[in-house]
Structure 1
Amino acid sequence: MSKAPKHHVLPEEFRAWFEKRGFRGDMDIDKFCVRLEQAHHQAIHGGGNWRSGRTWPNEWNRMIMEALREAEVEAGRMLTRNEVLNIVASRMKRYDIPMKFIQGGRR
């Protein structure tokens, strides 16, 4: 039986965006991964079990980036690393994503 897949809670395709906000070195986005069961992981990305997928209002990466961009517009400045983490943590809690981070890797 294989391990549950790793999921970057800070979307990899926006690595440069996160780096500009302090996610480098010891705080690289690869440090913010969680293991999710396959069906839960696929549901986050808009696929897999449609019943699980229905619990997600948007695909995870899009939802997170929309929330972060809206927060920056509201603040009128670039978010700090801690502000980004607070927003992401609130979404993780809302969608029952464990806050048990593991080391991920680049694709």
Structure 2
Amino acid sequence: MSAAVRIHGGRVMMAQAHQDLPEGVREALGDSPEVRGMKVTGKAGAGMADAPKHHVMPQEHREWFELRGFKGDMDIDQFCVRLEQAHHEAIHGGGNWKLGRTWPGAWNRMIMDALLKAEKSAGQMLTRNTILRIVAENMRFYSIPMKFTKGRSR
């Protein structure tokens, strides 16, 4: 009997560490696998949080964008969009999240290829406005909403 109490006690301790339901709520609902599987979540866990923010201009190329005028009030952190996780994974992995950034059509690869080709064709550095036009065209193609929000900066 004492071993069962210790196991139960360990389970309660572990449940509290993982923000399971408070003791009184668990007692009121009973002891079933469904109730044991419940946990306290925030807005994101309940599916009520805003979709995460994502940069449309790849952060790993921040210096490239800065050289072309994306600094201060116009830095790339000002050009973020909210995307549902599935949409975000699709544009980075072509529907197969395991491909991640290795898929040739992945957003970061595709947008940088388009910008570099345009710059090579122009024979000079692209202006901010030209970059924004190219990004906007590709956002429409990828069904990315044209509603920018400020993202997290480095």
Instruction: Assess same fold via TM > 0.5.
Output: yes
Matched-pair contact (CA < 8 Å) for 2:62–2:76: yes
- 1:14 aligned residue (45, 58, 61): 61
Q: CA offset at residue 3 of structure 1?
A: 2.2
Q: CA offset at residue 17 of structure 1?
A: 0.2
Alignment-derived partner of residue 83 in structure 1: 130
Alignment-derived partner of residue 97 in structure 1: 144
The structure with higher relative contact order (CA 8 Å, sep 6+) is: 1
CA RMSD of aligned residues (A): 2.0
- Distance in 2 (CA, whole Å) between partners of 1:41 and 1:96 is 11
Bigger drift between 57-66 and 79-88 goes to 57-66
The share of aligned pairs that are identical, in percent, is: 67
Deviations along 1:50-103, one digit per CA (max 9) or x if unpaired, are 3xx9xx861100000000000011000000000000000000011110000001
Q: Give every structure 1 segment of 4 or more consecutive aligned residues whose post-TM-superposition deviation is greater than 6 Å.
A: none
Alignment-derived partner of residue 69 in structure 1: 116
Alignment-derived partner of residue 106 in structure 2: 59
- Distance in 2 (CA, whole Å) between partners of 1:99 and 1:41 is 15
Amino acid at match of 1:88: V
SS at match of 2:89: helix
SS at match of 1:45: helix
Alignment gaps of 5+ in structure 2: 1-46
Pairs within 5 Å for 1:20-59? 20-46=67-93, 49-50=95-96, 58-59=105-106
Alignment gaps of 5+ in structure 1: none
Q: CA offset at residue 46 of structure 1?
A: 1.1
Matched-pair contact (CA < 8 Å) for 1:5–1:41: no
How many residues are paired up? 103
